[in-house]
C-alpha cells in the first residue's frame, strides 16, 4: 500500500531541535524526513525550516548548504515552506543581535530586533491574535503557544500590490507587540514552537499540512 501522507522535508543544516519537529509533523499526519538532499528538498510537498540559537549562526549554517537558494527555488515555484523560530527570523532582511547586524534571506522587509520588554527572554505560553483569513490558526482561536526567544520582528511593512492577497499576520505581546506568525502565499512561519505547543501545535501543523498539494 502506498503511503498517502504528504512528504515534508525538514531541512537538516545543523540546527538543533530538529527531531522534535520531525515527530510533531509525523503526529500531525505528514511523512516527515530530515534531509539536506537537494532533490528531496525541491520535490517534497512541504519544506520545514527549523532554527534555534543566534540569527548570525543560523545564517552561516544555511549558507554552508546553500539553504537560501533551496528556499528561494521552492517559493519561485509556489512550493510551500514553513519556518519556525529562528527559521522564521532569517526570512526577514536582517537581524540585529548584541550590536551585530546580519543579512537575512530577504523574503520579507524589516529587521529582527531584541524584544522591547522588561523580562527577556520571552519563555513560556502566550496567546496570539491571528491575522484575518488565517488558515494556520483555523479552529485554534484562543489557544496559547510556546515561545522561547529574545528577538523578533516588531513591525510588519510588506506592501502588497493587488491582485495579490494581503498576508495574514498574527501578533503576540511580550512587553510590546511582535510578529508571532505570517502566512504569505506559499511562505509561512511561526515565531513560537508548534512542536513544543502540545495539541494546539499539532493541530496548527495539521492545518499547514492540509494546505499542501500532492
Catalytic residue among 85, 113, 143, 149: 85
Instruction: Name 200's Cβ contacts closer than 8 Å, sequence gap at least 6.
Output: 140, 143, 144, 145
Is residue 193 annotated as a catalytic residue, yes or no?
yes
The answer to whether residues 192 and 145 touch, using CB atoms and an 8 Å cutoff, is yes
Other CB atoms within 10 Å distance of the CB of residue 124: 10
Is residue 141 annotated as a catalytic residue, yes or no?
no
CA distances from 184 to 12, 15, 57 (A): 23, 24, 25
Distance CA 174, CA 114 (A): 11
104 membership: H or E segment, kind and range:
none
Is residue 85 annotated as a catalytic residue, yes or no?
yes
Catalytic residue among 97, 129, 195, 199: 195
Catalytic residue among 69, 141, 193, 199: 193
Pairing of strands 122-127, 151-153: unpaired
Distance CA 2, CA 187 (A): 28
CA distances from 125 to 96, 138, 174, 207 (A): 25, 19, 11, 20
Distance CA 34, CA 169 (A): 28
Catalytic residue positions, numbered: 85, 193, 195
Amino acid at each position: 500500500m502506498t503511503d498517502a501522507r504528504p512528504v515534508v522535508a525538514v531541512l537538516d543544516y545543523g540546527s538543533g531541535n530538529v527531531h522534535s519537529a520531525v515527530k510533531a509533523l509525523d503526529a500531525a499526519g505528514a511523512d516527515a524526513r530530515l534531509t539536506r538532499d537537494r532533490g528531496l528538498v525541491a520535490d517534497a510537498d512541504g519544506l520545514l525550516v527549523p532554527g534555534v540559537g543566534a540569527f548570525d549562526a543560523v545564517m552561516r549554517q544555511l549558507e554552508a548548504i546553500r539553504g537560501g537558494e533551496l528556499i528561494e527555488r521552492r517559493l519561485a515555484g509556489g512550493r510551500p515552506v514553513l519556518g519556525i523560530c529562528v527559521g522564521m527570523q532569517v526570512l526577514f532582511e536582517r537581524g540585529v543581535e548584541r550590536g551585530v547586524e546580519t543579512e537575512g534571506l530577504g523574503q520579507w522587509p524589516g529587521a529582527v530586533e531584541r524584544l522591547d520588554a522588561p523580562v527577556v527572554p520571552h519563555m513560556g505560553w502566550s496567546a496570539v491574535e491571528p491575522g484575518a483569513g488565517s488558515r494556520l490558526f483555523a479552529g485554534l482561536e484562543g489557544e496559547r503557544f510556546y515561545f522561547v526567544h529574545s528577538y523578533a520582528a516588531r513591525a510588519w511593512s510588506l506592501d502588497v500590490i493587488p491582485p495579490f492577497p494581503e498576508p495574514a499576520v498574527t501578533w503576540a505581546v511580550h512587553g510590546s507587540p511582535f510578529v508571532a506568525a505570517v502566512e504569505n502565499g506559499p511562505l509561512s512561519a511561526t515565531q513560537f514552537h508548534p512542536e513544543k505547543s502540545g495539541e494546539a501545535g499539532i493541530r496548527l501543523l495539521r492545518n499547514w499540512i492540509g494546505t499542501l498539494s500532492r
